A = this chain, B = another copy of it.
């Protein structure tokens, strides 16, 4: 042993080196099963566990982990998911048994949303935007004890790839944010590859434990929604009109950046926008958000320089991400967070969004359906509306007999001051806060009307009255990206969902 001083000026006390015992030891993060991982995470009653939804309605990991937690008798757990789908219906049993006491998510569809609306949980569910969830994680408002990553492929030191394996889902933008702050991170995979995985989507330093299971989910479930442009005449007409709005807006020029959802009208809009870009010889900078094969085609057609992808919406997008470096992954924080001085959403020129309801203040509801049952949540809706220069809502005047342009939304998800234009089959309304835009669109020959006029037409076309807001207790809080609250959702009694 060397003769070291006890303290050193500018350094402090010296702890002398002692011989390490594990030279060349082959460390591994591989554990026998989920039970072992749960033990390693030292989870106790009331713990917060997080999940991501890249496998969408094909996800097997949330249910598998919750079953394991339930078997151990843990109670009052907080499920902090990015999204909950119909496949997660078993959560209802865990709520009933007391295993789950709290839920937070950015989007909830299917029977769990209905159960929440019926008051299944005594604590209010927190619905955050994708960017708001990233902010809450970074600011410690959402503290995660264990993040479970559905890993299409992994090695035994925790490098994770979304590009390999039988359940390859492409980018892993949501867990990229969780793994930065979670106390423990568990990669759950059905494809253990030799070390090191390449290329890596989540690096080993962010993962604590690796568990191999038979099957993390159903690859067919990834593309659970429509990811093709609509083909019916009414949707095509709305898409044509939304594209005309973009073309006339002044934003469709060299370097144009664009986001659409994966719905048929959104993609129909994108198809027309792409045609106009090709005609005008415009090359855009990026498409962002959830990415579909249709966006990949626009990239490959030379219409955009790059894709910023938080989640692949279909297998064509997965294949593109596997092979094309222009198709980039981004974390939820990079995508949409409001606290980092500028996210990707802050550079989007135009976004095409859907709505369950839009009201006279241009406020949008994508959280509840007519009658008040939870059927969604913001996801990136409020984030992109706030960040983009031109936020367009496309919607029919009515759906299922209910008016979609209403005096007041059933739940306020996205504030009206961030919505610029509403495009319907009956005409276009421009938010009066964007006065010049109305003139511009009129000058282009577009059928601009007042939002009140559209609401009146919608009311006339509706065959069922919009039910009044419930007066029940609060079952969910709709949090805006900055942590303020835009609205609450109240319990429904009696009627079916």
Which A residues between 378 and 399 are near B, CB-CB below 8 angstroms? 386-391
Interchain CA distance A328-B196 in the complex, whole Å? 10
Q: Which of A200-208, A221-229, A273-281, A453-461 touches B?
A: A200-208
Q: Find out whether the CB atom of A331 lies under 8 angstroms from the CB atom of B4.
A: no
Residues from 407 to 439 in A contacting B, C-beta threshold 8 Å: 412, 415, 417-418
**Interface size counted on chain A using CB atoms at 8 A:** 82
Instruction: Indicate if A347 sits at the interface (CB-CB under 8 A).
Output: yes
Does A347 contact B16, Cβ atoms closer than 8 Å? no
A445 in the interface, Cβ–Cβ < 8 Å? Answer: no
A242-286 vs B, CB cutoff 8 Å, 1 = contact: the mask equals: 000000000000010000000000000000000000000000011
A346–B25 Cα gap in the complex (Å)?
A: 7
What does DSSP make chain A's interface, helix, strand, loop or mixed?
A: loop
One of A83-91, A119-127, A211-219 at the interface: A119-127
What's the nearest-Cβ distance from chain B to residue A14, in Å?
5
Decide: A9 and B485 in contact? CB cutoff 8 A. no
Shortest beta-carbon distance, A422 to chain B, in Å? 15
Given contacts A5-B488, A486-B17, contact A331 B199 (CB under 8 A): no
Complex Cα gap A123–B7 (Å):
12
Partner of A285, one of B2, B196, B482: B196
Interface string of A471-495 (1 = CB under 8 A from B): 0011001001011111110000000
Do A24 and B389 touch (CB < 8 A)?
A: yes
Q: How far is the CB of A71 from chain B (nearest CB, A)?
A: 25
Q: Which of A43-51, A60-68, A336-344, A366-374 contacts B (4 or more CB under 8 A)?
A: A336-344
Q: A340–B19 Cα gap in the complex (Å)?
A: 20
Count of identical protomers in the assembly: 2
The answer to whether B325 touches A10 (Cβ under 8 A) is no
Q: Whole-angstrom distance from the CB of A411 to the nearest CB of chain B?
A: 10
Q: In the complex, which of the residues B194, B326, B473, B483 contacts A15, with contact meaning CB atoms closer than 8 Å?
A: B483
A308 an interface residue at 8 Å Cβ cutoff?
Answer: yes
Known: A4-B488, A24-B389. Contact between A337 and B10, CB under 8 A?
no
Encode contact with B along A127-139: 1 for CB under 8 Å, 0 otherwise. Answer: 0000000000000
**A485 and B196 contact, Cβ closer than 8 Å, known pairs A205-B331, A412-B2:** no
Which residues from chain B contact A121 at a C-beta distance below 8 Å? 10
Q: What 0/1 pattern do residues 32 to 76 of A give for CB contact below 8 A with B?
A: 000000000000000000000000000000000000000000000
Q: Any chain B CB within 8 A of the CB of A189?
A: no
Contact B485 A20 (CB under 8 A): no
User: Which residues of chain B have C-beta atoms less than 8 A from A473's C-beta?
Assistant: 9
In angstroms, how far is the closest chain B Cβ from the Cβ of A412?
6
- Complex-state Cα separation, A184 to B434, whole angstroms: 36
Tell me the complex Cα distance, A446–B194, Å: 32
Which residues does A use to contact B, with CB under 8 Å? 2, 4-5, 8-11, 14-20, 23-29, 102, 121-124, 126, 157-158, 180, 194-196, 198-200, 203-205, 208, 255, 285-286, 305-306, 308, 325-326, 328, 330-331, 333-334, 337, 340-344, 346-347, 386-391, 412, 415, 417-418, 473-474, 477, 480, 482-488
| Subset of 22 A-B contacts with CB under 8 Å | A8-B474, A9-B122, A10-B124, A11-B474, A11-B477, A18-B484, A20-B415, A23-B386, A24-B387, A24-B391, A25-B346, A26-B347, A157-B346, A157-B347, A180-B180, A194-B255, A195-B347, A203-B330, A203-B334, A204-B334, A204-B343, A205-B343
